[in-house]
């Protein structure tokens, strides 16, 4: 069947009661079974896309608006139960007032007359649940942990928004997180949500003041209490206080625990608690701390393990105060700074500092190596300048010095195999060569930066010199 929401041109639509397409005679009218058959004729049921304890979700085509949407219909077996009907309508009322990019918007609710079968319509979300995505990661190694943590951050932001509005989800789990084909993330199924007033206890005063209003429902207005002593939610992902049926003690910290349990499965690809029956899992949740993630998978980063275990602390006061604080610590891990869940040593802190600044440090190391390699030659040149030297100041006309080409500024470094350190030493060397009958004395000179050699016959050299030590003239 072609997708009319994509292909049909925009046109003015006139409602005609005798239009067969609006009279419920389409080929898919009975596709959803008994509950779906009770929907108004404007909705053509195409397929069942999910079901839970309260109702079934169908993909339908809206004949009037010519688009595909999702419809959740209360189970037929629960339709006559007033408590079930009220809870179902409350889910629609709560979800419709949570206007956030990561929460599926509710369009309308069907509640016409005492005998009407309740349903509500909402955006059709294409994609996979987080459970399906984690199963794919277990098989194929993708998506990456970083991408999954980005999804998790979106979930935290949506739950924090709900808390600011005074709503606890109470059934957070991977099955209730949907990820669309373009990266959209949605927190689903608010069927067991709890309203805790105009703003959730534990939310900052600044956020209470900033929000426009809390979420209300027919049940909250009538003052109906929640069911203490009754366990609601999914055992493997619920906090100990919820597993004990103590609904009055639930708060933002309870959803934080469930978020930590989701993070646990993201890190380890398994639920924090397992068992053959729901009762066994509930017993373990009440009595045991979860196995540390690194004992399940050794490649789990230590900081993420610490964040997960803090969120899943047994005592509510030991957990993060809200989803925003949990998300902030995940963001700190992304940025490579110290997370609040785990103190680190000075050495590890230095290593993280170096990692965050690895590119400037790499340049610094290269420059440092260049300096170290150049240092010996530089020091040799400096030490050569600091040694005592004999500098030619002038040359007497007709002298041996003029004959061999000495000029003012030449530095006499060596004679024979010895370094020249004073004028007297040079004179004594030349005199000694003359006395011994040597034909010449070999001198090594520095003129500017060039080294020169000259053979000088014994006799009066005929130069005026000065001794230089540290660039000071010696007497």
The better pLDDT of the pair 11, 69 is held by: 69
Between CA 182 and CA 190, with CA 186 as vertex, the angle to 5 degrees is 160
Q: Which domain holds residue 245?
A: 127-342
The pLDDT tens digits of the residues spanning 122-169 come to 999 999 999 999 999 999 999 999 999 999 999 999 999 999 999 999
**Distance from first CA to last CA of the chain, Å, rounded?**
111
285 by Cβ neighbours in 10 Å (0-12 / 13-18 / 19+) ranks as buried
For residue range 387-414, list pLDDT tens digits in order: 567 888 877 787 777 777 888 888 888 7
User: Would you say 72 and 55 are in contact if contact means Cβ atoms under 8 Å apart?
Assistant: yes
Q: What is the mean pLDDT of residues 18-23?
A: 43
Question: Is residue 274 a part of any domain in this protein?
Answer: yes
What angle separates helix 252-268 from helix 323-335, to the nearest 10 degrees? Answer: 40
Considering the domain architecture, whether residues 183 and 299 belong to the same structural domain is answered as yes
Q: Which residue has the higher pLDDT, 201 or 234?
A: 234
The structure's pTM equals 0.66
* Same structural domain, 251 and 182: yes
Give a yes or no: residue 409 inside a domain: yes
Nearest to 89, CA basis, from 190, 4, 20: 190
Please choose, from the candidates 134, 58, 460, 146, the residue with its C-alpha nearest in 3D space to the C-alpha of residue 330. 146
The pLDDT score that the predictor gives to residue 229 is 52
Q: What's the pLDDT band for 373 if we cut at 50, 70, 90?
A: confident
For residues 433 and 447, membership in a common domain is answered with yes
- Tell me the chain's radius of gyration from C-alpha atoms: 43
Provide the number of structural domains found in the chain: 3
pLDDT of residue 223: 41
Instruction: Give the active site residues.
Output: 171
Q: What is the pLDDT of residues 239-289, one digit of tens each?
A: 999 999 888 889 999 999 999 999 999 999 999 999 999 999 999 999 999
User: Could you report the per-residue pLDDT of 26-44, keeping only the tens digit for each?
Assistant: 333 344 456 677 788 899 9
Same domain, 151 and 262: yes
What CATH number does residue 70 fall under? 3.30.200.20
pLDDT (average), residues 228-244: 85
145 CB-contact burial (10 Å; exposed 0-12 / middle 13-18 / buried 19+): middle
Last residue of one domain, picked from the residues 312, 327, 342: 342
The verdict on 232 and 84 lying in the same domain is no
Helices (H), 244-318: 252-268, 278-287, 293-296, 302-311
Domain check: are 280 and 136 in the same one?
yes
Residue 175 lies inside a defined structural domain of this protein: yes
CATH number at residue 467: 2.30.42.10
Q: How many residues does the chain have?
A: 475
- Which of the 8 DSSP states describes residue 337? S
C-alpha 189 chain-centroid distance = 26
> What is the model's pLDDT at position 38?
78
């Amino acid at each position: 069947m072609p997708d009319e929401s994509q292909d049909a041109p925009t046109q003015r639509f006139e409602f005609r009661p005798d239009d067969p397409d609006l009279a419920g005679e389409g080929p898919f009218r009975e596709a959803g079974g008994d509950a779906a058959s009770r929907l108004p004729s404007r909705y053509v049921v195409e397929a069942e896309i999910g079901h839970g304890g309260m109702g079934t979700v169908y993909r339908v085509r809206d004949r009037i608006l010519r688009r595909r949407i999702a419809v959740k219909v209360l189970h037929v077996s629960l339709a006559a139960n007033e408590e079930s009907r009220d809870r179902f309508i409350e889910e629609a009322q709560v979800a419709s007032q949570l206007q956030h990019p990561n929460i599926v918007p509710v369009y309308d609710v069907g509640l016409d007359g005492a005998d009407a079968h309740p349903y509500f319509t909402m955006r059709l979300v294409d994609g996979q649940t987080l459970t399906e995505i984690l199963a794919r990661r277990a098989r194929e190694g993708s998506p990456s942990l970083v991408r999954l943590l980005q999804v998790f951050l979106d979930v935290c932001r949506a739950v924090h928004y709900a808390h600011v509005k005074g709503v606890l989800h109470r059934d957070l789990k991977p099955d209730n997180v949907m990820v669309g084909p373009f990266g959209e993330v949605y927190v689903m199924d608010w069927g067991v949500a709890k309203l805790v007033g105009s703003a959730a206890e534990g939310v900052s005063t600044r956020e209470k003041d900033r929000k426009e209003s809390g979420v209300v429902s027919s049940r909250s207005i009538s003052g109906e209490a929640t069911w203490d002593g009754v366990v609601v939610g999914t055992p493997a992902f619920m906090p100990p206080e919820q597993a004990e049926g103590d609904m009055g003690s639930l708060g933002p910290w309870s959803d934080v625990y469930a978020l930590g349990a989701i993070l646990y499965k993201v890190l380890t690809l398994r639920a924090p608690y397992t068992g053959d029956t729901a009762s066994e899992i509930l017993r373990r949740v009440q009595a045991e701390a979860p196995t540390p993630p690194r004992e399940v998978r050794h490649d789990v980063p230590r900081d993420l393990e610490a964040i997960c275990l803090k969120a899943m602390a047994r005592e509510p006061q030991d957990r993060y105060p809200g989803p925003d604080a949990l998300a902030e610590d995940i963001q700190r891990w992304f940025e490579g700074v110290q997370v609040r869940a785990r103190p680190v040593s000075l050495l590890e802190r230095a290593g993280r500092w170096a990692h965050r600044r690895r590119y400037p440090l790499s340049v610094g190391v290269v420059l440092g190596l260049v300096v170290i390699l150049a240092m010996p030659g530089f020091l040799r040149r400096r030490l050569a300048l600091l040694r005592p030297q004999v500098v030619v100041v002038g040359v007497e006309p007709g002298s041996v010095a003029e004959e061999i080409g000495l000029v003012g500024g030449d530095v006499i470094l060596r004679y024979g195999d010895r370094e020249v350190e004073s004028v007297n030493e040079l004179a004594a060397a030349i005199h000694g060569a003359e006395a011994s009958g040597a034909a010449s004395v070999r001198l090594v000179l520095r003129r500017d930066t060039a080294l020169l050699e000259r053979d000088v016959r014994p006799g009066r050299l005929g130069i005026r010199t000065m001794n230089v030590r540290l660039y000071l003239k010696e007497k």
